[in-house]
A and B are shown apart, each in its own frame.
Chain A
């Protein structure tokens, strides 16, 4: 069986990287929202919420920085 999404794989590795980084950026936002829901149902405490939100935030910054670098290089 073929994976349909593999058919839309770009020929250009940098372009694939861009797809993946953008997807991860969204995923990190989703995960921060999950943390908020976990705090709401007392599955995590406030300190853990803060610590993990900070951690995800840092990763999101680097992901966005990377996205900008990729876009810049693709434009060259």
Chain B
């Protein structure tokens, strides 16, 4: 058997595009996971830095998902859910997966939880701030 190329000659430009998008999703999950682990280990001591970087990654993930929501090729390759995608590509990044599913940075999540015990209005504003 001969050398097997990354993309077989018959692979369409469309399929390559889907692979590029999946690579972005993959790298976002890994990166969000790493950033959160670094924050939890206090390697990133500045909370606003953690927030800035994580919010940006979450936003990029949301944009990719929104853009490809109706794309059949993408959805087939992605597997329909982040969990399924991670299973397919052997991603072990529980912090990253949870963060992307929740859609808000860890610090905002905790602020929201703390706010919820006092008043429901602060929870709403914290969530809105994260979405902005």
Footprint of B on A, CB under 8 Å?
12-15, 17, 32, 35-36, 39-40, 46-47, 49-50, 53-58, 60-62, 64-66, 69-70, 73-74
Contact = CB atoms under 8 A, between A and B. Distances in A.
Interface stretch (B16-24, B66-74, B104-112, B118-126): B16-24
Is the contact region of chain B dominated by helix, strand, or loop, or is it mixed?
helix
A61 B23 contact: yes
Contacts of A35: 34
A49 B34 CA distance: 9
Interface of B: 1-4, 6, 8, 19, 22-24, 26-31, 34-35, 37-38, 41, 43-44, 49, 53, 57, 89-90
B28 A54 contact: yes
B23 A62 contact: yes
A2 to B, nearest CB: 25
A58 B57 CA distance: 14
The secondary-structure label for the interface of chain A is helix
Question: Which 6 A-B pairs rank lowest in CB-CB distance, beginning with the nearest?
Answer: A57-B27, A61-B26, A61-B23, A57-B30, A14-B1, A58-B23
A24 B127 CA distance: 40
A73 B38 contact: no
A46 B44 contact: yes
Given A40-B43, A46-B49, A58-B23, A74 B30 contact: no
